[in-house]
Amino acid sequence: MTLAPPVPGPLLPVPAPAAGAGELAPLCAWLAEVFIAPPTAPGIGAYRRGQAAAWLESLAALPDFAPGAAAMRQALAGEGSDEALAARLGTAFNRLFLGFGGRRTVVPCESAWQGNGRLYQAPAAEMQHLLARADLSLGAGCVEPPDHISVELALLSFLLMSGDPGTDAMKERLQGWIPAFCARCLEEDTTGFWGGAARLLAAAVAACPARNEARQDRLTEERKAR
């Protein structure tokens, strides 16, 4: 899933997130990729032995993100092949997010958690407006509604990177439904992979700086650069 302009993907050598907007932006972009589709076999290899492994290790070193990163790393451990684990995670993803789990499905769209719980309601229309306001559009290969968790995270990442004044509103939007979504992920995920990602997501949304904090961070960095 991408927006135009594109945001970082999970296998890019992005810096570890810390207490500033510049570091949280790639974390949100990475989480957008985690929740849009299960990892492929090459992706599993990267998580086990490549750049993505270093990414998870860096997250595990930060107290707020350590529990989620540890859960994901444990889910990726084991002696099975990358292909076998990718197949298992693919099946789990379908059950968890795509409706194969019946009533145990955790719908990854804001509309399912707000209002009457029906999809394609007001949150989807509002997100379409917010994307247009930022002069962004969904990538050609994205078939998800605009209020899908990955779309909202990608937009938040873009707003954080650009210092957009709409960042606070987007953060509040996510805080309105992400806690319930993450709690259900933890309840229903049997692999630990998306349960761990949900822990990271909850921590990331909580750590997003307010507008004034983000502005102060930029001013501090500018002063240091002089």
Confidence band, pLDDT 50/70/90 cuts, at residue 217 = very low
> Within a domain: residue 25?
yes
Query: How many domains does the chain contain in total?
Result: 1
Confidence band, pLDDT 50/70/90 cuts, at residue 219 = very low
**CA gap 24, 160 in Å, rounded:** 8
41-86 tens-digit pLDDT? 999 999 999 888 988 998 998 899 999 999 999 999 988 899 999 9
> Within a domain: residue 135?
yes
Residue 39's domain comprises 18-221
Which pLDDT value is given to residue 69?
94
DSSP string, 97-118: HSSTTGGG----BGGGTSTT--
Distances (CA, A) of 94 to 15, 215, 219: 30, 40, 44
Confidence band, pLDDT 50/70/90 cuts, at residue 178 = very high
Side chain identity at residue 118, one-letter code: R
Confidence band, pLDDT 50/70/90 cuts, at residue 210 = low
Which pLDDT value is given to residue 48?
94
> Within a domain: residue 102?
yes
Confidence band, pLDDT 50/70/90 cuts, at residue 119 = confident
| Angle at CA of residue 173, ends 167 and 177, nearest 5° | 145
Domain containing 50 — which CATH number? 1.10.3480.10
Weakest-pLDDT range from 24-28, 56-60, 137-141, 143-147:
137-141
On whether the CB atoms of residues 214 and 160 are closer than 8 A, the answer is yes
The alpha helices in 98-208, defined as continuous H runs, are 122-133, 149-162, 167-175, 178-188, 193-207
User: Is the bond into 179 cis (omega within 30 degrees of 0)?
Assistant: no
Confidence band, pLDDT 50/70/90 cuts, at residue 100 = confident
Q: Residue 16: is its pLDDT beyond 70? A: no
Query: Can you say how many angstroms the Cα of residue 11 is from the centroid of all Cα atoms in its chain?
Result: 14
Q: What is the average pLDDT score of the chain?
A: 81
> Within a domain: residue 121?
yes
28-42 tens-digit pLDDT? 989 999 999 999 999
The alpha helices in 11-139, defined as continuous H runs, are 21-36, 41-49, 51-60, 66-76, 82-97, 122-133
**CA gap 220, 175 in Å, rounded:** 27
Looking at the DSSP bridge assignments, the partners of residue 3 are 138
> Within a domain: residue 28?
yes
* CA pseudo-torsion sign 117, 118, 122, 124: positive
For residues 151-169, average pLDDT: 89
Which pLDDT value is given to residue 190?
92
Which pLDDT value is given to residue 84?
96
> Within a domain: residue 139?
yes
190-201 tens-digit pLDDT? 999 999 999 999
> Within a domain: residue 1?
no
Query: Can you say how many angstroms the Cα of residue 93 is from the centroid of all Cα atoms in its chain?
Result: 15
> Within a domain: residue 201?
yes
Which pLDDT value is given to residue 216?
42
